[in-house]
Amino acid sequence: MEVVREWFQRHFSDPQVVILAGLLLAGFIGIIFAGQYLAPVLASLIIAYLLEGIIQPLQRIGVPRILAVGLVFIIFFIVLLAILFGLFPMLTRQATQLLQEVPAMLTEGQRLVLTLPERYPALFSETQIEEFLDQIRREAGRYTDTMLRQTLSSVVGVITLIVYIVLMPLLVFFFLKDKDAILNWARGHLPRQRGLATRVWQEVDAQLGNFVRGKFWEILIVWVVTYITFLFMGLNFAMLLGFLVGISVLIPYIGAAVMTFPVALVAYFQFGWSAELAWILVAYGIIQMLDGNVLVPILFSEVINLHPIAIIVAVLFFGGIWGFWGVFFAIPLAILAQAVLKAWPRQQETADEEPEAAGE
């Protein structure tokens, strides 16, 4: 107990540390218990944060903020309409076509698996193959039941989507228009001794703003390049696969590896074991290599300083806690954790170093 008491006194004797810990705890509790209800608010905040990176340069060249907000919001709204009425139907149509081809792909895959005992009798037996196929059939049955339940509840999902589409542009506009008033209101409800929390926020804001905007451009560039490449090579579902490859960059290292399988499967069932399949995989590998070695260093040269192990651990940890959204926000949360650890006072280390310095 004495050790625990000393540790607690060493780390939480400063009121600013207590305030920072309280704000972090309140934020996590709010997200855990009310995150699903506040999802449109959080998504609108992220979009407003992204658009703020366009508004500020306009202000620096002399454009009044209200005019800059109006101009940027009009562009955002036009892009949103283009996504809803142009891109989204195309992605939905290609996803539906791909799902319709899944039974034929499964049949072909089953035929190939059944030939393994004949080709490689030393590695595979008929019993092993039958057990493997039975397991796949059971999993496919569960997946079908899940899809059916989701289809039955799709009406609620459509209504929710419509509400989001109406609410989010309004929230984004008011977040941008009344940014100063909202920040002043928030500061008025925070404790006065918040210097440590302010330093953490400044560190997070400097990295997170550049990270969000950099990720946006990375997703867009990888998406467009992948789509054009697959379309030129004649691969089916080029827009859908390009979109998924673009989104996969949100999960560094893991996303690129995971997306290799759907790209390879679609290419295989379209072209078989052929030169076209090999060239598509080579092209996909080149895109990923250019993304990791050229595009990412250009976009994120001064953004984040996280080791790849830290990124992977953050993806696994937060993904295990919050599922998809944990994976989605893994790097921003890792940036927050890094900023907290960097700003957290280390009084004991200072006290230990002073006697050593005196002895010298």
Range in 31-45, 87-101, 166-180, 248-262 the model is least confident about: 31-45
pLDDT-based confidence at residue 152 (cuts at 50, 70, 90): very low
Neighbouring C-beta atoms of residue 96, cutoff 10 Å? 9
Per-residue pLDDT, averaged over 322-336, amounts to 72
Domain range for 331: 194-345
Q: Examine the pLDDT at 287 and tell me if it is beyond 80.
A: yes
What's the CA dihedral at 309, 312, 313, 316 to 10 degrees?
A: -160
What pLDDT is recorded for position 360? Answer: 44
Does 134 have pLDDT greater than 70? Answer: yes
Q: What is the overall mean pLDDT for the chain?
A: 76
Q: Are residue 66 and residue 89 in the same domain, yes or no? A: yes
pLDDT at 357: 47
Q: Look up tokens 């996303």; give the residue.
A: 255
**Position 75 pLDDT exceeds 50:** yes
Residue 353 lies in a domain: no
Residue 316 CB-density burial (10 A; 0-12 exposed, 13-18 middle, 19+ buried): middle
**Does residue 116 lie in a domain region?**
yes
pLDDT at 212: 76
Which of 179, 213, 241 terminates a domain? The answer is 179
Which of 156, 179, 202 is the last residue in one of the domains?
179
User: In which band, very low, low, confident or very high, does the pLDDT at 195 lie, cut at 50, 70 and 90?
Assistant: low
* 43-64 exposure pattern, b = at least 16 Cβ within 10 A, e = fewer: ebeebbbbbbeebeebeeeeee
Residue 153: inside a domain = yes
pLDDT value at residue 274: 86
Question: 133 with 205, same domain?
Answer: no
Strands (E), 45-159: none
Q: Which residues contact 255 (CB under 8 A, 6 or more apart)?
A: 247, 248, 249
CA of 348: how far to CAs of 9, 13, 105, 201, in Å?
Answer: 10, 12, 62, 24
What is the number of structural domains in the chain? 2
Average pLDDT over residues 124-149: 67
Question: Looking at the structure, do residues 132 and 31 belong to the same domain, yes or no?
Answer: yes
What distance in Å separates the CA atoms of residue 189 and residue 19, rounded to the nearest whole number? 13
Residue 337 and residue 234 share a domain: yes
> According to the per-residue pLDDT averaged within each range, which of 76-85, 161-170, 208-217 is highest?
76-85
* Domain end position, chosen among 145, 179, 213: 179
pLDDT greater than 80 at residue 4 = no
Residue 156 reports pLDDT greater than 60: no
Tell me the whole-structure pTM to 2 decimals: 0.70
Average pLDDT in the 30-58 region?
79
Residues 36 and 166 reside in one and the same domain = yes
How far, CA to CA in Å, does 349 sit from each of 45, 181, 188? Answer: 38, 41, 34
- Can you tell me the distance from the alpha carbon of 292 to that of 297, in angstroms, rounded to the nearest whole number? 8
Question: Does residue 185 fall inside a structural domain?
Answer: no
Q: Which of 13-27, 178-192, 306-320 has the lowest mean pLDDT?
A: 13-27
132, part of any domain: yes
Q: 39-60 and 195-232 are packed helices; what angle lies between their axes, rounded to 10 degrees?
A: 90
Beta carbons of 240 and 95 less than 8 angstroms apart = yes
Is pLDDT above 50 for 342?
yes
- pLDDT > 90: percent of the chain: 11
Does 140 reside within a domain? yes
pLDDT at residue 9 is higher than 70: no
Whether residue 156 is found in the same domain as residue 236: no
